[in-house]
Amino acid sequence: MDYDAIAEYIKRNNIRRILVQAPDGLKPLYLCIHRVLSGRAELYYSSSPTYGACDLALNEARRLRAEVILHIGHTEYPFLHIKPEIPVLYIPAYYRWTPSKKLMDDLADHLKSLNAQNIGLVASIQHTHSLEQLAEELEKRGFNPIIGSKPYRVADRGQIIGCDYTSAIAIEDFVDVFLVLAGGKFHAIGLALSMSEKKVLGLDPYTGKIWDAQGEARRILAKRYYIVTSLANKGFSSVGVVIGLKPGQYRPRIVHIIEEYAKKKSICVYKIVSEELTEDRLIAIDNALALDIYVVTSCPRLALDDLEGFYKPVLTPAEYVMLFTKDYTYRYPW
């Protein structure tokens, strides 16, 4: 983190109140911020989850009258519906990582077993800085690594996020296998869902595990198709459209499309507003309204991950549209 630049910004702009926000995994960085900036301005630390740069704490900042948000761990989100009324400093937090010789040898064996020569390399923001080195190591072992493109102005080369895979899509045609460098499974599964015919491997820099994201994505797709086709057969007469209000998750145009489809079939629509959609919030709504299905228009991953076990169908907008168009091509993210 470039503390000098932040301190300089505070001084130059005469900042008195700062709201700091970070995803839970990076909240320990609050300690570093406090050590360096305490005394230079009043510091407030958000306890909220922060799932991405779509999830700016603008409401918190407004109420506190903070003059700047320090947003840790993400680059600026290009699809914000609401232009922030106060400045946001995006502070990516990179993980320092050097792959071991053993890991690289294992990876090379794995790729050879897949007959892969052209390897597409992408990463979550924490790991984009390691892609160059990963590419070098793969080159040494006779592969042709291709780092993903720079998807938009403020992002890093090869960066993917939960709802944007353009850095990978740009190189898709030249690639035999994608390798996603990211902690956990979230990013690699997202990429595999967005291009279900392409082989996608995950490489977790924290555990050193190499895993088959395409396989996992296929299991998810099987479940999703089961939910959608059952519903297409059975029909439904009411839908709860969940509208997320985070600055990058409010998508009124999609809400409108969903309503229009429902109207044509005289399906009853309830528009449900959500600051933070968790299972207990959906239970509270369903206890009260007992609707047939729910469509989540905020983050396209909520239906697939957090709420995939809900006792009623919870769909992405694309899955909902399938019910009407009967075009069963899976579209992710949408």
Binding residues for a second copy, rule: CB under 8 A, are 19, 24, 27-28, 30-31, 34, 42-49, 57, 59-60, 63-64, 82, 242-243, 245, 250, 270-277, 281-282, 284-285, 287-289
77 to 82, 119, 135, 150, 155: CA distances (angstroms):
11, 27, 26, 13, 9
Smallest separation, CB 148 to a second copy (Å): 31
Closer CB to a second copy, 46 or 128, in the complex? 46
Smallest separation, CB 244 to a second copy (Å): 10
Closer CB to a second copy, 169 or 272, in the complex? 272
Q: Within its chain, how far is the Cα of 228 from the centroid?
A: 23
Smallest separation, CB 296 to a second copy (Å): 11
Closer CB to a second copy, 218 or 265, in the complex? 265
Place of tokens 């045609």: 173
Smallest separation, CB 129 to a second copy (Å): 23
- Would you put residue 231 in left (φ > 0), alpha (ψ -120 to 50) or beta? alpha
Closer CB to a second copy, 3 or 226, in the complex? 3
Smallest separation, CB 293 to a second copy (Å): 15
For residue 24, the 8-state DSSP code is G
Q: How far apart are alpha carbons 29 and 277 in whole angstroms?
A: 26
Closer CB to a second copy, 93 or 108, in the complex? 93
Closer CB to a second copy, 192 or 291, in the complex? 291
Give 207-211 contacts, CB < 8 A, sequence gap 24+: 208/100, 208/103, 210/106, 210/107, 210/110, 211/185
Contacts of 304 (CB under 8 A, 6+ apart): 193, 220, 224, 316
Smallest separation, CB 80 to a second copy (Å): 12
Q: How far apart are alpha carbons 108 and 217 in whole angstroms?
A: 23
